Amino acid sequence: MGSIAETCRTCQNTEVPDAQPDPSTGVSSRLAWADSARALSVLAVVLFHVGLWHFLPHSAELWEPAARAWAKINGILASVRIPLLLAVSGLVMSRRIRLGFADPANIGRAIASYYLYIVWLLIYALFFALVTYDDLPHRIHGPLDLFAQFLVPDTTLWYVFALAVYVLVFSALRQLPPWIVLVALAALTIIIRISDVQGLQAYKIPEVAFFFAVGVYGASQIRSLAENSTVLRGAALLVLAAVVTLGGRFMTGEISGSVLFMVRGVTFMVTSVAVIAVLVRWRPLGRAMSAVGRQTLPIYVMHPLLLYVLIASTAQWSGFDALLAHPVVSVIYPVVITVGIALISLAIHRVALLARLSLMFGLPSGVRESLSRILAQRA
């Protein structure tokens, strides 16, 4: 059976099987759009958190048109960022997961994801122990809270934890017809969203599993869409996404709102794939987005910490509100901060690798090789 792929790459879901080089971009066409979609989804997560935690709390001081626009943008991001991220993650892992435990490396991938979760949970706990500023989201409150989160995530790291869970669960469900799994997960999404149990980040794992399943079971259809996308189809899907978003005004009930959440998530995911597949045919953009998409893990795990530092720092700056009040700053600030955080995350990642701290981003090589041998013996 197959061996475990390089752990850091595996946990970022960077490999797309059977990709062929695209002469227009210099990289695989499938790899270009899949990595670019992942880049877009992670940057959307960062942009959402910049708005939610740092920018929009100052809305009273912002230029009013910009404040209204960013509030609407964050409202859209709130319901589409994670569906897109999970659907693309499920898509690029689909062939392996559909093999189930016949591919023993799936167990290794789950272990690798959980390892990364624990490493970064410990880093977060250390950060919160050192940073005394209280008004930070998802703070870890001491050793008991830390130990509880080994099994019940309550930080933004829940996504890394979820990848380990999803690999095991969907591998175990490989014998079931996809429609049964999708219907069951859609029902689970509705149940959780209309209940009162959404306080912990851990509840997002079952709540949004539906979107990971869409990527796993709809992989061939999504790939076909990307490979055959055109400007006209992309424009049509953008119109459809706008119509679905406007439909939220007429679906105010809890159940109908939950259904809209799923429909909107899938619509935006499909639209993003179609539009990105067209855009990355331009060589410079394809290369840049693919490069970011192959390094989404460091951006995802580091962006909250960098944003926490920014929040704590600007809280002590008396002139910060006056800066945000400038119309140009109000318009561009979230984008500038998002790009800055992404670039700093990638720079820290590069320095960490040069400093031989790769264990922050994947299983140590000795452990990985031992695990590979153990799993190969089980095959």
Q: At what angle do helices 64-98 and 105-130 cross, to 10 degrees?
A: 150
Choice between 255 and 5, residue whose per-residue pLDDT is larger: 255
d(CA 245, CA 48) in angstroms, rounded, equals 17
Give the pLDDT score at 198: 61
Annotate 336-350 with DSSP letters as a single string. Answer: HHHHHHHHHHHHHHH
Q: Which two tokens stand for residue 312?
A: 């704590």
Reported for 102-105, long-range contacts at CB under 8 A and 24+ positions apart, including other chains, are 102/1, 103/1, 103/2, 103/171, 104/1, 104/375, 104/376, 104/378, 104/379, 105/1, 105/2, 105/3, 105/4, 105/5, 105/372, 105/375
d(CA 352, CA 349) in angstroms, rounded, equals 5
Give the pLDDT score at 25: 35
Q: What is the mean pLDDT of residues 22-44?
A: 69
Annotate 148-207 with DSSP letters as a single string. Answer: HTTTS--STTHHHHHHHHHHHHHHHTTTS-HHHHHHHHHHHHHHHHHSS--SSGGGHHHH
pTM score over 0.75: yes
Statement: residue 21 has pLDDT above 50: no
Q: Which two tokens stand for residue 10?
A: 């595996």
Q: Which two tokens stand for residue 198?
A: 């959404």
State pLDDT tens for residues 220-260: 999 999 888 899 999 999 999 888 888 777 676 778 888 88
**How many of the other CB atoms lie within 10 Å of CB of 47?**
24
Q: What is the mean pLDDT of residues 187-208?
A: 86
Q: What is the mean pLDDT of residues 193-221?
A: 89
State pLDDT tens for residues 75-111: 888 877 888 899 989 998 999 999 888 888 889 999 9
Q: Which two tokens stand for residue 86?
A: 């999970």
Task: State the distance between the two ends of the chain, measured CA to CA, in whole angstroms.
Answer: 6
Give the pLDDT score at 331: 94
Look up residue 21 and give its DSSP letter: E
Mean pLDDT of the chain: 86
Look up residue 361 and give its DSSP letter: S
How confident is residue 124, by pLDDT bands cut at 50, 70 and 90? very high
How confident is residue 2, by pLDDT bands cut at 50, 70 and 90? very low
Choice between 272 and 46, residue whose per-residue pLDDT is larger: 46
State pLDDT tens for residues 318-356: 889 889 999 999 999 999 999 999 999 999 999 999 999
- Residues forming a β-bridge with 27: 22
Give the pLDDT score at 66: 92
Give the pLDDT score at 301: 97
Percent of the chain with pLDDT over 90: 57
Look up residue 363 and give its DSSP letter: -
Statement: residue 10 has pLDDT above 60: no
Give the pLDDT score at 12: 39
State pLDDT tens for residues 144-172: 999 999 999 999 999 999 999 999 999 99
Percent of the chain with pLDDT over 70: 89
Give the pLDDT score at 31: 63
- Maximum mean pLDDT: which of 30-44, 264-278, 336-350: 336-350
